[in-house]
Structure 1
Amino acid sequence: MSTPLRPILVTGANKGIGLAVCRAILEQRPGFHVLLGSRDEARGRAAVAALRADGLEEVSLLPLDVSSPSSISAAAASVSASFPAPLYGIVNNAGVGFGRSIEETVLTNTLGPMRVFEAFRPLLDPDEGRVVNVASASGPNFVEALGEEQKGFYRGPREAFAIERMVENKVKKSRVSKPEFDNTAYGFSKALLNCHTMEIAERNPSLIINSCTPGWIDTDLTRGMGARDPPSKGTRSVMKCLFDCESRGHYYGSDGERSPIDRYREPGTPPYAPASGY
């Protein structure tokens, strides 16, 4: 009897970095089946068809809108019923970009990955399951610009209730309907995602859980903003965290090296090595 293929969920995977991650897994790592998460089912089917047309057969569509708790629950139930092998990994890639309100941005970029993790946690391999939260250098840049007292919140793990309270306070202080073009909403959402990553890594010591930035990649999110690198280049740090990393609760730069969560580290410079803590 053949060994069941090990499933990996990639959210927001019908295009851009998510689709590139799916392709990288299928091309480089035999023995896995990719669950291509997509909010838009038509685009998801087209992405699956494109991969299969290239001979990458071990992929299936999973309808999943990370901003919708009911969609997340339905997706988890579907995976539980359909796959005999436990999940090897979750890549929380789905996200929205600049020019949106704080509330809308955090709903997808922070609360979405939090809810996906809690729904799919029972399905993860208890001994070697992995979670990769796709963050951004905008997170450390956001924290770096804060005052010293404010920075303290973002420099350590924070439980869900603390993150949700921070979101509520931030939304109350903003004009919810006003799009923010100054990086506040996006950077805020990714800084909180790093806090969440550290917390669930502490709470689940048998799992390997980290966050990373794919880099400044030319996708729909960054189009017209000067990004030139193709989505395939944005898979480097994700693939390292998914397969070749044994640390827990850390943040990695686009070059696959450990980076601080409270300031920017230029790719290619020495890895971050704190004396203690994060």
Structure 2
Amino acid sequence: MSPTSVVLITGANRGIGYGVARNLAKQHPDYLIIIGSRDAAKGQEAASALKAKGLTSMTSVVIDVTSDDSIAAAKAYIEEKYGRLDVLINNAGIALDVKDRGKYPLREMMQRTYDVNVFGAAAVTEACIPLLEKSENPRIVFTSSTVGSLARTSDLTNPWATAPIPAYSTSKAALNMLMVYYANILREKGFKVNASCPGHIGTGLNSYRGTGTVDEGAANLVRLAVLTKDGETGTFSTAQGPRPW
């Protein structure tokens, strides 16, 4: 039996991406979920661990979002194997000024962060659009962050407003703009394109400092991944509701 939806999640061998894969598989066993990982062994290990829990519609693919060749190879594999893509979750991300503060000069830190969080998400989206166009209900989800909200950052009563994370916060603001761009140009083709902030979740991204669980962080991303044809598009939200730009 062919899957009702083929889903690619970048950066899914751990953290929020892994939580999304797990919860999506639990709630929708008819979905085929492809765990995207830079490291083949880690991707296969993650898929095998989920299969061992009874979540059998799981596989993996190597995809390094900073490499156009890697993105092209992953796209070619999905096209040859499944013929289409129904859901793309742009989850791969880094937070060098959270986890590795002081390790890199500012320019290098900004360049590395944007290469993954913004340029990588754009390149993967662009590559996957032809596959998504073959879906009856194409959906794209971007894993963003509330620290990228200009409105909330402009509010000095917000404790995150002065957080020393310029690379991460500005990359997420740029990612939100990227999401709106794709939502606009793909709207007439029936695409549902949205962004979600998981919340302050403890993962490897932030050295496991956080107040929420991975399952809580995954909840809204999963909701957006399974939107029906009449679902929203061009939105930025959390599990608690819309977030201000």
Q: TM-score range by the shorter chain?
A: 0.7 to 0.9
Structure 2's unaligned 5+ residue stretches are: 98-103, 156-162
| Counterpart in the other structure of 1:132 | 141
Q: 2:114 aligns with which of 106, 111, 114?
A: 106
Provide Cα deviations, 1:217-237, integer angstroms capped at 9, x if missing partner: 010112254x13221111111
Deviation of 1:5 after TM superposition, in Å, equals 4.5
What count of residue pairs does the alignment treat as equivalent?
A: 223
Instruction: Provide the rounded CA distance (Å) in 2 between the counterparts of 1:118 and 1:138.
Output: 25
Report the secondary structure of 2:124's partner residue: helix
Give, in whole Å, the separation in 2 of the partners of 1:38 and 1:202.
29
1:115-264 superposed matches below 5 A = 115-124=123-132, 125-140=134-149, 144-145=153-154, 182-205=164-187, 206-223=190-207, 225=209, 227-244=210-227, 246-255=231-240, 257-261=241-245
Does the 8 A contact of 1:142 with 1:184 survive in 2?
Answer: no
Which digits, 9 at most, give the CA deviation of each residue in 1:15-36, with x for residues without a partner? 0110110011110012110010
Moved over 4 A (4+): none
* Cα RMSD for the two superposed structures: 1.9
Question: How far apart in 1 are the matches of 2:118 and 2:9?
Answer: 16
2:90 alignment partner, one of 92, 96, 118: 92
How far did 1:98 drift?
Answer: 3.2
In structure 2, relative to structure 1, the CA distance for the partners of 1:73 and 1:224 (3 Å cut) is closer
Asked if 1 retains the 8 angstrom alpha-carbon contact of 2:146 and 2:243, the reply is no
CA deviations over 1:229-264 (Å, ceiling 9, x no partner):
221111111012112471111101242x11111xxx
Q: Computing the radius of gyration over CA atoms, which structure comes out larger, 1 or 2?
A: 1
What residue identity is the alignment partner of 1:116? V
The aligned counterpart of 1:271 is: none
Structure 1 gaps of 5+ residues are 147-180, 262-278
Q: Percent identity?
A: 30
- TM-score w.r.t. length of structure 1: 0.76
Q: Shift in Å at residue 41 of structure 1?
A: 1.4
Q: Cα gap change, 1:55/1:141 in structure 2, threshold over 3 Å: closer, same or farther?
A: same
The one-letter code matched in structure 2 to 1:198 is V
TM-score normalised by structure 2 residue count: 0.86
